[in-house]
Amino acid sequence: MENEVYTIPLNSIIDEFQLEVIYAPENVAEIQVGRSDLNRPGLKLSGFGKLFEKDRIQIIGRVEYEYLCSLPEKARHDSFESLVSENPVCIIFTTELPVSDEQINICKKGRVPLLRTKTLTSEFMAALIASLNVSLAPRITRHGVLVEVYGEGILMLGDSGVGKSETAIELVKRGHRLIADDAVEIKRVSATTLVGSAPEIIRHYVELRGIGIVDVRRLFGMGAVKLTEKIDLVIELEQWVQGKMYDRFGLESEYTEILGINIPAITIPVRPGRNLAIIIEIAAMNSRQKKMGYNTAEEFNKRLMGQIHGDK
């Protein structure tokens, strides 16, 4: 659900970033991280803790470390103890900074995980925030097919039986890649970006009516599939309706709103004789061209208007 709050086990972060576990309480497997923003607790260590947020992972970099080292022994103890007393989700020392026995004992007393990484502070924080943004992102599941065509993530939507899966297989045969069939898990990983993937149970599988379930990875090889892809274009496939006016020039920009983000969208009518795979390839290339600053419809319209005015 869009408003559901997601968490990730602290152990997953430890494994992903190969963090050194200096101290971990017995219940470390139960600790969940629910915030993607991190905190460098310089203000808290200096005595100002009014707006301290313990749900964030606390990062001790060289600045915080040098500040602690500059304090007298008792003040250093009290400063670090005040941080641990807030019961933060965990404390991570970066840049392989030394951790004193005193700090370990304080964390043991407060049952706060104490971890360390060799990575530089800014580099580690950027990587961890990026990872958490994906893991904790708002998400929904849409019925559709997600493929990568010429580097563009194409989300095909439409009623069951309209030909989404068959089109995906044809695109795979033409050298493109499948991300998800039937159900697409969509995550909002930033204010402008949606990323789609397949639920693990149906990953790399496609259902073809009359044949059954097909394992795309085994049939076409590892190069035919991909785990995730940014969604660049939404294509709505619908049965051709006689008499309905379809866009023939592409001057009007249409968008589909997903998780609060507007994604460029087009509608493609489906009827016997239309090669959907080729049409979608052209749509993907046209989408890339627009992002590079060239809009074919606008250029054609300018040429047409110039011709009209030139004839007058």
Local confidence pLDDT in tens for the 312 residues of the chain: 445 788 999 999 999 999 999 999 999 999 999 999 999 999 999 999 888 999 999 999 999 999 999 999 999 999 999 999 999 999 999 999 999 999 999 999 999 999 999 999 999 999 999 999 989 999 999 999 999 999 999 999 998 888 899 999 999 999 999 999 999 999 998 889 999 999 999 999 999 888 899 999 999 999 999 999 999 999 999 888 776 766 666 667 789 999 999 999 999 888 887 889 999 999 999 888 888 887 777 777 777 777 777 665
In the chain, CATH 3.40.1390.20 sits at: 8-135
CA distance 50 to 64: 18
CATH number belonging to domain 139-300: 3.40.50.300
Which one is catalytic: 54, 108, 182, 288? 182
Strands 261-270 and 233-239: parallel
Which one is catalytic: 50, 74, 244, 248? 248
Amino acid residing at 76: R
Which one is catalytic: 164, 177, 188, 204? 164
pTM of the entire structure?
Answer: 0.77
CA angle 200–204–210, rounded 5-degree value: 115
Which one is catalytic: 143, 174, 218, 302? 143
* Whether the Cβ atoms of residue 128 and residue 121 lie closer than 8 Å to each other: no
Write out the H or E segment, with its range, that includes residue 263: strand 261-270
Amino acid residing at 224: A
CB atoms < 10 A from the CB of 172, how many? 22
Q: Known catalytic residue: 143? A: yes
Q: Known catalytic residue: 248? A: yes
8-135 belongs to which CATH class? alpha beta
Strands 261-270 and 254-258: antiparallel
In the chain, CATH 3.40.50.300 sits at: 139-300
